[in-house]
Chain A
């Protein structure tokens, strides 16, 4: 390499082992001004119309002719000055035109790796790659890479994170994945039809605008309310169907694989031992069909869903794979709060229950929409017992377990002595549970 410093700043110099993103990347910035204009027009249609009528077509075209190349130039420069490199233990991203920014992401701290292909990126054959690390920013994603390159890079990052020797990490390749669950489109559609939120948002979108029209008679007011409402309704019905279409959960030595999406494809990999909590949710309307949804929490990851819809037995089998050695307790195996809890919190107390096994702590809550949360003992960060005056009157207390993904599991309405005992034993279990947990670099043992 040439001397760093001067040459570096002039050429946006590439250091040894560094790579650039895919050359189509600048294009996505070129259309930013147009997108901003459209966004503004949608957000404030009244004002936009008034402003637009004042402009002639020529001025508009000239403005676009200036803005689009300017944005393209910005896109090109930011692409030119963005480099990334994979070192022995880190992914380094160097970026920024005016404000230089270097992110070093430690690979053994990786909680999940996402490869995302939005629709247009699929057409162009490129993909985004993002490492979920606690505290990582949105801009720490690699957008865009060639689709094959993204796949190879993911395999390499996983191999390095798993603890393969640096020389071999390049050739290890993708770990073979085995499919353990695939959601049929019909089930997904039926499950969405049986979701209250879908109907509520649809009803709101159909009822509110006509009422507003009757009340005000102003087209723009009606449009300004109708569009967001329609957007919400679409997102919660069609949007969810499209996003959760062809949901596939796979298992590989590199951990859990989740592939999903009809238009935008998302491929997520969660390495072993990264799952903090798992929740099995049973909405009221799904109960007849025996269906459940499984949610999971991984620190630093944004996707909370593991299985959008599946029969309970299948979901339980998936959970057993995700948290090895864990048996999901059945409703009957849960220990309920003492009877006097019914006088403390009438009715609602019936939904509560806990179960403790060698591997996990499970709490259930909810009367209509039952939710069973499981946390492995090794993932409990701290344990708390709280008791207010009303609970003390009935000698009851709540036990809270704080986990690393920012979620807290609460065992409510336990007997006060039992709660104190739980606090003591859970602290002990969470301390020792760590011993037989797998190391951060899961292939080195």
Chain B
């Protein structure tokens, strides 16, 4: 059986174990952390200023709550980002993710009905795109977020090509 090392591991963090795992580029982590800092920073300012001005300087300690949350979220995002990885094997795509709730998905190329590249306004601003695979089963949740748009398009083209070569109906 050829589990195949992927021909192209595409950069970031090629693992050394049998399937050539690829991690996500750091852009997604940067974006998520920035959003976290911005929103919780605003919240911290609000939580510090309002009670501080209205009830006395001691109450400004409320600002510590969002700050603690920010520190926690910072590590959480890092762990979550590190847990995401995918591998293009000879016949199927492997996606593994999750820290507490781990999940690993295998989608044979022949079962792909549609490959989608999406990019929202925020993602676009950070130069990110996600690839989503659809099979005939609605429960298949094979999404790779936060890819470089060029890599996303390369992946889409390669998956489509492989999908056509190994295509099968229902």
Contacts and interface: CB of A to CB of B under 8 A. Distances in A.
A389 interface: yes
- Give the contact-size bracket for chain A: 35 or more
B91 interface: yes
B92 A403 contact: no
B20 to A, nearest CB: 15
Contacts of A240: none
Contact of B170 (A299, A383, A402, A424): A299
A427 interface: yes
B100 interface: yes
B110 interface: yes
A382 B103 contact: no
Interface residues of B, number: 27
A134 B170 CA distance: 10
B102 A386 contact: yes
Nearest to B95: A384
Contacts of B107: 381-382
Given A403-B137, A408-B137, A389 B142 contact: no
A382 B1 contact: no
Interface string B127-162: 000000001111111100000000000000000000
Contacts of B139: 382, 400, 402, 406, 408
Given A381-B137, A404-B136, A404-B137, A386 B110 contact: no
Interface on chain B toward A: helix, strand, loop, or mixed SS?
loop
Contacts of B168: 378, 434, 437
Contacts of A387: 101-103
A420 B105 CA distance: 11
A379 B166 CA distance: 15
B142 A382 contact: yes
A274 B169 CA distance: 10
B111 interface: yes
B135 A381 contact: yes
B108 interface: yes
Nearest to A392: B102
B29 interface: no
Contacts of B3: 424
B101 A427 contact: no
B103 A385 contact: yes
A307 to B, nearest CB: 23
A427 B169 CA distance: 16
Interface string B96-119: 000011111111101100000000
Given A387-B103, A427-B108, A402 B135 contact: yes
Contacts of A378: 168
Given A402-B135, A403-B137, A430 B108 contact: yes
B106 A406 contact: no
Interface in A421-445: 423-424, 426-428, 430-431, 434, 437, 440
B104 A381 contact: no
Contact of A388 (B101, B135, B137, B142): B101
A276 B170 contact: yes
Interface in A319-355: none
A440 B138 CA distance: 21
Interface in B56-113: 91-92, 100-108, 110-111
Contact of A382 (B102, B140, B170): B140
A105 to B, nearest CB: 15
Interface in A179-212: none
A382 B101 contact: no
Interface in A58-81: none
B108 to A, nearest CB: 5
**Most A-side CB within 10 Å, residue of B92, B102, B170:** B170
Contacts of B138: 402, 406
Contacts of B108: 382, 427, 430-431
Interface string A153-182: 000000000000000000000000000000
9 contacts: A382-B106, A385-B102, A387-B102, A388-B100, A404-B136, A408-B137, A424-B106, A428-B91, A430-B108
Interface of B: 1, 3, 91-92, 100-108, 110-111, 135-142, 166, 168-170
Interface of A: 109, 111, 134, 274, 276, 299, 378-379, 381-389, 392, 400, 402-404, 406, 408, 420, 423-424, 426-428, 430-431, 434, 437, 440
